[in-house]
Chain A
Amino acid sequence: MKTLEVYNLQKKYQQGKKSIEALSGLSLTINAGEVLAFLGPNGAGKTTSIKMIAGLIRPDAGWVRIAGCNPHSNPQALRMLGAVLEGSRNLYWRLTPQENLEYFGVLRGIGRTVARKQALKLLDQFGLMHKRSTPVKALSRGMQQKLAIAVALVHKPSLLLLDEPTLGLDVEACQNVKALVRQVASEGCAILLTTHQLDVAEEISDRVAIIQKGKIIAEESTEEIIRRFSGSTYTIKFEGSLDPIQITKIEALGAIIEAEKIIYTGTKPGLYKVLGILEPLPLSHVKQDQSDLTQIFLKLVREYNHD
């Protein structure tokens, strides 16, 4: 089921006499329970897209549907949307976490009683119960960010927009946020997240969309894009020792033998030939050398800039 559908979004800004194209025909979809990492260099149009999806910026052309509703004309669409926006506190700093959750619950259209129950549940789920009566301004940055995500979820939205959710967080807080994002997605919420931390995107996203100059230049599953860009070199580790016949056969296939390790560059059928020769030695490790999302991202963006 498609939770978010975005079609052909276009936006131009006027800066003095210059017209700047922020988005030129952006389209994407996200299914329930899916995490889409929305990647792009600074100024590529990520935040504009997120705010357009949230109904905070009006597109020149194109449309947005959240579970079939248009957030620009139907306020009910906002009941299905939660957002943590970058560069904003998103919270009332004089209020405590519990007060923030209860207030935003009502502001998002759920009743006071439901908001109170949800607040307690989220405080527990996000590990903030012990800080529920501390004013937000006295919380650490990591806790504030966790709370901002909890607040965005208080009305049980079907779509969560996270603009740079791990920005400025220490390692532990970052791990916490990543785990929470996966947990929220596993409960059926569709998540669109932007981040410059590509290791975070690689770890938690199901799909990636790379945006450059207002256009999506690549969109596919995280696993698939990494596989597609990964090399054809395999590392095979085994236990025991090779006999001279095995060594000859393996070297004849072009593989390099090191102590308890073989490095093979070639096709998959070739790989299976190597594995066949190794039989019956126990294998401890077979791994394709992989590109990471950072390399793929840089390659795609540079290629696009050269075109």
Chain B
Amino acid sequence: MIELFQAEIKRIWIEFIRYPVDTISGILANTFVFYGLFLSAKYIGGPNLQVGERLDAIVIGYVLWTLVVFTLEGIAFGLQVEAQTGTLEQVFLSPFGTLRVLMIRGIANLTLNVVLICGVLIFTMLLTKRYLHFPVSIILPLVTVLLGAYGLSLMMAALTLLYKRIQQLLGLVQFALFFLLTFPSEIWNRSLQNLRVILPMTVGSDVLRDLVARNQSLDLSSFLLALMNGMGYFIVGVLVFRWAERQAKRQAILNGY
């Protein structure tokens, strides 16, 4: 398992750097976005932002959204690309099982993206001389958010297996996630607030914001709620993916695109 993780990290890294212009453009684009966020934090939040117009809250929301989107693209869009380039069936021939390979790929993708984003973030902090402080306890709600992200990604991957092209839907999901992860739920309207517990990753991102932006200590009940939410999405994602895999094999459409 560890060796597969290392092999995935190596493969993803090689594919990432093989086109240097694209790689450098991506890093520069990320740097510019963070630089822009640091410079104009209070304007982005707008007058409705009830979190003390803290730069930390905006940055944490954006970082979270970026990581979730990377996870979503790494798993669901990655599957579509593999079907198009003709390597998907070879992945299905792995004795590790497709689900496990996809999960390990997701974690490898996440690891590289975390390192990259942290690098860009540190560089931006040095550049602007404005420093963010993240308590170690953010790891707990972060895990709940990532569990939800993996669950959602597996659901999207299941749709990709069955329907092949779902870019438009992925775009919509990313847009919805931007709202869920970057806007604090206290500014939502009442009907959405009622749905907060069952919406993906929302509780976890609120707990994260409480820790980072409001300097509050970890609220155990909120964390457990976030954990249940994340686990729920993850389990449903696994079940839906397994079902879609069986369907795709039954209908002989694994390799189609």
B-binding residues in A (CB < 8 A): 11, 13, 48, 51, 54-58, 75-76, 78-79, 81, 83, 85, 87-95, 99, 102-104, 106-109, 111-112, 135, 151
Contact = CB atoms under 8 A, between A and B. Distances in A.
A107 B96 contact: yes
B87 A92 contact: yes
Contacts of A83: 89-90, 93
A250 B52 CA distance: 114
14 contacts: A54-B89, A56-B89, A56-B92, A58-B246, A58-B249, A88-B86, A91-B87, A94-B18, A106-B6, A107-B7, A108-B93, A109-B94, A109-B96, A112-B3
A79 B95 contact: yes
B4 A107 contact: yes
A109 B95 contact: yes
B93 A81 contact: yes
Given A87-B86, A108-B95, A111-B3, A95 B255 contact: no
Contacts of B86: 85, 87-90
Contacts of A88: 86-87, 89-90, 255
Nearest to B100: A75
B219 interface: no
Contacts of B11: 92, 95, 99, 103
B252 A13 contact: yes
Given A90-B90, A112-B6, A95 B252 contact: no
B15 A92 contact: yes
Contacts of A56: 89, 92-93, 249, 252, 254-255
B190 interface: no
A166 B11 CA distance: 28
Contact of A90 (B87, B95, B96): B87
A51 B252 contact: yes
Q: Which of A48, A95, A102, A107 has the most CB of B within 10 A?
A: A107
A141 to B, nearest CB: 14
Interface of B: 3-4, 6-7, 10-11, 14-15, 18-19, 85-87, 89-97, 101, 246, 249-252, 254-255
B102 to A, nearest CB: 12
A227 to B, nearest CB: 37
A51 B93 CA distance: 10
Contacts of B19: 94
B93 A78 contact: yes
B7 A103 contact: yes
Contacts of A51: 89, 252
Contact of A89 (B3, B4, B87, B251): B87
B237 to A, nearest CB: 20
A92 B7 CA distance: 13
User: Which 9 interchain pairs have the tightest Cβ spacing?
Assistant: A88-B86, A89-B86, A106-B7, A78-B95, A58-B249, A75-B95, A94-B18, A57-B252, A109-B95
Contacts of A75: 95-97
A106 B93 contact: no
B162 to A, nearest CB: 14
Q: Which of A13, A56, A83, A111 has the most CB of B within 10 A?
A: A56
A147 to B, nearest CB: 13
A163 to B, nearest CB: 10
A204 to B, nearest CB: 24
Contact of A102 (B7, B87, B90, B101): B7
Nearest to A155: B95
Nearest to B5: A106
Contacts of B18: 94, 135
A112 B7 contact: yes
A93 B14 contact: no
Contacts of B91: 107
Nearest to B92: A56
